[in-house]
Amino acid sequence: MNDGNDENDPLQQAPPDVVREEDYTILIFPDGRKIFAQALTNKKGKTPPVKINKRSYPTANLIGLPYGTVLELGVGKLEPLPEGEDIIPNYPASLSSEATTQGLESDEANANNGASTSINSEQKNDNRNLVDNNQSQKLQVQEIEQMRQEGTHGSDIVVKLIENSATFDQKTEFSKAKYIKKKQQKYQQRCRIVRCTPFSICEAIFASRPKLLLNMRDDTLGQMLSHANVSAGCQVLLYEHCAGVITGSLAWRMGGYGKILSIYDGQQPSCIEMLRRFNLSFAENSSIKWVHSGDIYGESNDDDPEELDLEKIERDSLEWPCPLQNHTRQYLDSMETTREKRQFLAKRCARFTRKLTRQTPMESKKMLEGRKSDSVS
């Protein structure tokens, strides 16, 4: 029976098909690189723009783009391409040698099908007289850089490089195709926007920093979630050192139903930044309960049932919204700009919010002892 509350049910809401503001995405390149990018209209002191090949690119134009969109690296921006474009660009149409284009396309098709590369028996050119002395290109580095700064399209730069190459016509068809592909990867780079899921995040981190995940692959993560019988409504006791990927995967899989007791060491959890990459909803974030290891293994007076939870009493005595004290008002009045006042009040509100929502050690212990966890990881 439909009670009309499906819109408020996180499990009944389909994930968005487009990139929203402050969402994290993954940019996948043809060479296998996977780079995280957060869509922000304004940096707001959170994260710098995405950095690719030592160049920074704004991410405001990613907002509203559907997942799967192909982007091309332009001059200081990521340019979305029309639907149907691939991350491997087509070969320049202005090339006079059709055999070069057809040869590389057939070689790529054969490589995808597992077949061997065909050899053209009528090949007339060879590479015996070519000398790699870096003098065959007539264009200077400064001229190429000037074209990039002027906004010249990558395909036009590739055509210019071919036209000004003194040895291009002397190469074999395979060497020509290899040369074109190499220049396209440098001057016509493309990437695809991919949604952040537990498996895409695990795959992206494993490709660049496998030690951060203790060499855990995405298929291993799937087996862990399956064998642990994680589902909506269960309670999971977790202790991990995989940068928070398992914690975020549990919250993503449970959809905000149930409870995740994540144990951490130190003064505060060290994986908050990683959890933001999962784009979790409020319900999914609220299902994660942080428990300090000292609250479990620390000394407590279990024999005294009337032991008072002083931290809880202090927390309950706080008023919300918290009134400003006189010295705080004087400090605000000394600030010159409204922006400084807003930043100070935002940090103060965040600090009191953490204090009001953080459970005390006694509450953590009761949480662990009150219900037996359905899964321990």
Whether 115 shows a pLDDT value over 70: the answer reads no
- pLDDT value of residue 47: 56
pLDDT tens digits, one per residue of 307-355: 677 777 777 777 777 778 888 888 888 888 888 888 888 888 877 777 7
pLDDT for 300 equals 58
Out of 102-111, 135-144, 236-245, 316-325, the most confident range is 236-245
91 or 303, which is more confident = 91
Q: Which fold has domain 210-300?
A: Rossmann fold (3.40.50)
Mean pLDDT, the chain, as a whole number?
80
Judge whether residue 356 has pLDDT over 60. Answer: yes
Determine the pLDDT at residue 40.
87
User: Residue 376's beta-bridge partner residues?
Assistant: 237
Mean pLDDT is lowest, of 68-72, 158-162, 306-310, 364-368, for 306-310
What was the pLDDT predicted at 202?
96
Report the alpha-carbon distance of residue 291 to residue 366 in Å, rounded: 11
Give the model confidence (pLDDT) of 82-103 as tens digits: 888 888 887 665 554 554 455 5
Per-residue pLDDT averaged across 12-21, rounded? Answer: 83
For the residues of 220-259, what is the DSSP string, one character each? HHHHHHHHTT--TT-EEEEE--STTHHHHHHHHHHTT-SE
Is the pLDDT at 73 greater than 60? The verdict is yes
Q: Which amino acid is at 296?
A: I
- Token pair recorded at residue 100: 């070069």
Share of the chain above pLDDT 70, in %: 82
Q: What is the pTM of this model?
A: 0.75
What CA–CA distance (Å, rounded) separates 43 from 47? 6
pLDDT tens by residue, 148-180: 777 777 778 888 888 888 778 878 888 888 888
pLDDT, tens digit (0-9, with 9 covering 90-100), for 200-215: 999 999 999 999 999 9
At 31 the pLDDT is 86
Res 203: pLDDT = 95
Res 119 pLDDT > 50: no
Long-range contact pairs involving 363-368 (C-beta distance under 8 Å, separation at least 24): 363/309, 363/312, 364/289, 364/291, 364/292, 364/295, 364/296, 365/295, 365/296, 365/300, 367/259, 367/261, 367/289, 367/291, 368/237, 368/261, 368/291, 368/296
CB contact at 8 A, 127 and 172: yes
* pLDDT value of residue 225: 92
Highest mean pLDDT out of 51-65, 132-146, 243-257: 243-257
The SS3 of residue 80 is: strand
CA distance 265 to 294: 8
pLDDT of residue 279: 93
Domain ranges of the chain: 18-87, 132-187, 210-300, 314-361
Contact yes or no for 352/320 (Cβ under 8 A): yes
